[in-house]
A and B are shown apart, each in its own frame.
Chain A
């Protein structure tokens, strides 16, 4: 029964003398390999060249600020609960008078740490966050670290720089598809 049109009928008839000499198939094979020899290589020379990873790539974590530059995180701990690798830990603190321009709500994370050796970049923290505070950037990797001390990422490395705000390229599937097409 034929299911698809992709099946090729193999020719099982007896080989002729010429075919049995291996030479014709050998010549065809050599032709194919030499053609590939001169083909353009699809290799991306990685550290120098980087390819676009798409708007949904999960890279470096970021703790967003709101439009007025206040930290959105309220240290509710849902991200830490959602984290399957238990990489996130935090210490909550109450906002004092005069700190309203720094923190959006009355409670904030005084310490917010992600252990990058544990993190598996699943993005569940991003999904769990009710305040839209934690995101995984699509445009930046967590850099290579060689020391144990570099493993824990604190607020100094995670909170968004107000002068260099992070924007995701596409939020909807349609936008993402458009982006892929433009970058392909």
Chain B
């Protein structure tokens, strides 16, 4: 027992456990309220007012929805593979929840002279972990769709699988450019390198950021890439046969994925918990409140900044959902394979050249991008064109 206490004291076991629990709870809470926010945003964009009856401004709506989900009949089709049918939503939920484990939500708290980082697990291969977990996520959809023993579900599952694989490539390649800049796979290191405002990766990697965001949409199966569950063609897609809380898990997993991908996007491109003039704020806090308290308050502000970035990311997901209509499947594949992957390669090359050129990195990146656009438009103007068909000929 003594040994355990000592070990717990040394590793700050309790604080870590607390942070993990809090992050878990916040993830679930934000995901639950994303369902409310989605309907509210949808309403506002369509000039309606959205749910506003359950509680003030409809704030109890997620609870009502969850209650409804629980009391629905939990149906398993006779011809379905029972265990896989149950495993599908569980896997989806599990992988969705796991991906936020390595995201640094804030700098660190100083407690009893010890440093507790605001992050569930600090591993030096953070991005790799995120990618691994995210690509596992498609198994939930795939298994659920297949186990339903329904053609629509299977089609949805196949679409999900091929879509996720296609877009993971471009996503990975856009990340490689970031890794070249940072020289580290650790999300914390990447965030720390974006100190302040002008160091945010989005200013160095505008193209990479665009590719990453588009791919994040595809990975989360969100509109305009929500083909796996597209109602107009596939009834409900992979979750056609699901009901009750199993369906709830699938829908919930989607919102958790949105949260996680917003968090990762914020970390990789928008500076995580860094914000403009943070050094000045920190200095003022330190002189006003003393080193320890000042540092902790500064960290708290950083956490708030991080969460506002995440929430804006989630809002952006919704904003796009009610703006852009769904792609056709061939358009989706064209965009992924013929558009984003070549662009990601170009982005990598530009990054590499500007790093090796010896000029300031930001200048090199932007000059490289402009050169690329110029070359592309010249090639575009010179491309062989089909002769216009002459009417009546």
Contacts and interface: CB of A to CB of B under 8 A. Distances in A.
B375 to A, nearest CB: 11
B48 A37 contact: no
Contacts of B376: 17
Contacts of A41: 44, 47-49
Contacts of A91: none
Which of B41, B47, B52, B320 gathers most chain A CB within 10 Å? B47
Contacts, number: 36
A33 B324 CA distance: 10
A39 B44 CA distance: 8
Given A30-B319, A30-B320, A37 B41 contact: yes
Interface string A52-89: 00000000000000000000000000000000000000
Contact of B324 (A29, A37, A45): A29
A134 B301 CA distance: 70
A33 B47 contact: no
B45 A33 contact: yes
A124 to B, nearest CB: 36
A36 B45 contact: yes
Contacts of B44: 36-38, 41
B325 to A, nearest CB: 9
Interface in B43-92: 44-49, 52
A34 B319 contact: yes
A36 B47 contact: yes
B140 to A, nearest CB: 30
Interface in A23-37: 26, 29-30, 32-34, 36-37
A29 B46 CA distance: 13
A36 B323 CA distance: 11
Contact of B380 (A17, A36, A39, A45): A17
A57 B210 CA distance: 55
Contact of B49 (A17, A32, A43): A43
B320 A17 contact: no
Contact of A30 (B41, B46, B52, B323): B323
A36 B319 CA distance: 11
Interface string A81-106: 00000000000000000000000000
Interface string A121-162: 000000000000000000000000000000000000000000
Contact of A36 (B46, B49, B324): B46
B45 A37 contact: yes
B381 to A, nearest CB: 8
Nearest to B376: A17
29 contacts: A17-B376, A17-B377, A17-B380, A26-B323, A29-B323, A30-B319, A30-B323, A32-B323, A33-B319, A33-B322, A33-B323, A34-B45, A34-B319, A36-B44, A36-B45, A36-B46, A37-B41, A37-B44, A37-B45, A37-B319, A38-B44, A39-B47, A41-B44, A41-B47, A41-B49, A43-B48, A43-B49, A45-B49, A45-B52
Interface of A: 17, 26, 29-30, 32-34, 36-39, 41-43, 45
